[in-house]
Amino acid sequence: MQALEGGIDPGHAAFLHSKRSGANRRGPFLINRLMAQDIEAHVHVLQEDYGVLIATRREHEEGEFWRTNVFLMPFYTMAGRFGDTPIVRWSGWIPMDDENTMRWQVECDTVQPILQNDSWVQERVAQGRPPLGQDLDDTLAEDLEPPSHRIGSPFRTLPNQENDYFMDRSVQKEWNYSGMSNGNVEDQAVTESMGVIYARHREHLGTTDLGIIATRQVLLRAAKAIRDTGATPRGVDNPGAYRVNASNMVLPTGGDWVVRVREATKAEPGVYTRMASL
Ligand SMILES: [Fe+2]
């Protein structure tokens, strides 16, 4: 559960995934630049047919910058895109047992088939990766543990708690907050270092945790309803409710964000709405 909660936490990216020396403000990702301008996240939540819509407001020179995270029953999360791109990513946090979670991260294009998609290919090439995923075998060899008897093998990542996630103090001094190689490793490190099942009575939830609180409430209510009345959880009989994208937008200061944010979060097959005011 705490792994999934990292996927709907709008506050951590501006710290955990930040770069030193204001690099976020100048970096290639528009969203990183906007979050670096105002690291204070004002979080609001809406309960929806698919789960929870988490909307986060930050100050912006042209109004209010809103970014959304969505939680989709029973274990999917999606965060607002990192640039003006039709490519969306989401994560599935699949419980394997009480102490292990398998995370699948999926990316796809909202307009055209991904293998014909120029921006997806360009993004990979910009990262120094082959254009069409031929590096899968290399990735497996380079970033994952050799196959073993351990649960989750052969999908266990090479950076892990025993090797301090390859934290490099010189990288930390010069470049980023964590000294780790990328955002996925950073997320994994802070999630796993809490222990496999965190003692909830010791946690201190704050205002940026409203999405996490709402998600727990939705899941607990669904579980109790199954137990008590056999009620079908939300989303199961309503697949159309899942036509959503996490989104980013700039809205006029002080306006009615609920309607605009909900509208921007709807997804239509084959339609990509650009971030018009950015
Ligand atoms: Fe993260």
Total domains in the chain come to 1
Could you report the per-residue pLDDT of 178-214, keeping only the tens digit for each? 999 888 899 999 999 999 988 889 999 999 999 999 9
Confirm whether 25 is domain-assigned.
yes
Confirm whether 278 is domain-assigned.
no
When mean pLDDT is compared over 11-15, 19-23, 31-35, 239-243, the highest value belongs to: 239-243
Q: What integer pLDDT is reported at residue 278 of this predicted model?
A: 42
Q: Compute, in angstroms, the gap from residue 245 CA to the centroid of ligand 1.
A: 18
Confirm whether 274 is domain-assigned.
no
Q: What is the mean pLDDT of residues 233-252?
A: 89
Confirm whether 277 is domain-assigned.
no
CA 236 to mean position of chain CA atoms: 22
Q: What percentage of the chain carries pLDDT values higher than 70?
A: 78
Has residue 140 got a pLDDT over 50? Answer: no
Could you report the per-residue pLDDT of 34-93, keeping only the tens digit for each? 666 667 889 999 999 999 999 999 888 888 889 899 999 999 999 887 666 677 889 999
Q: Compute, in angstroms, the gap from residue 117 CA to the centroid of ligand 1.
A: 26
Q: Compute, in angstroms, the gap from residue 157 CA to the centroid of ligand 1.
A: 16
User: CA distances (Å), 42 to each of 9, 113, 200, in order?
Assistant: 12, 36, 23
Confirm whether 226 is domain-assigned.
yes
Q: Compute, in angstroms, the gap from residue 93 CA to the centroid of ligand 1.
A: 14
Confirm whether 111 is domain-assigned.
yes
Confirm whether 272 is domain-assigned.
no
Q: Compute, in angstroms, the gap from residue 138 CA to the centroid of ligand 1.
A: 24
Confirm whether 270 is domain-assigned.
no
Q: Which domain holds residue 11?
A: 4-265
Q: What integer pLDDT is reported at residue 276 of this predicted model?
A: 44
Instruction: Report pTM.
Output: 0.85
Q: Compute, in angstroms, the gap from residue 181 CA to the centroid of ligand 1.
A: 13
User: CA distances (Å), 68 to each of 29, 133, 175, 211, 244, in order?
Assistant: 16, 28, 27, 10, 11
Rounded Cα distance between 212 and 24, Å, is: 26
Q: Compute, in angstroms, the gap from residue 237 CA to the centroid of ligand 1.
A: 31
- Least confident stretch, 118-122, 175-179, 244-248, 266-270: 118-122
* Amino acid, res. 24: N
Compute the C-alpha angle 259/265/266, nearest 5°. Answer: 95
Rounded Cα distance between 253 and 63, Å, is: 5
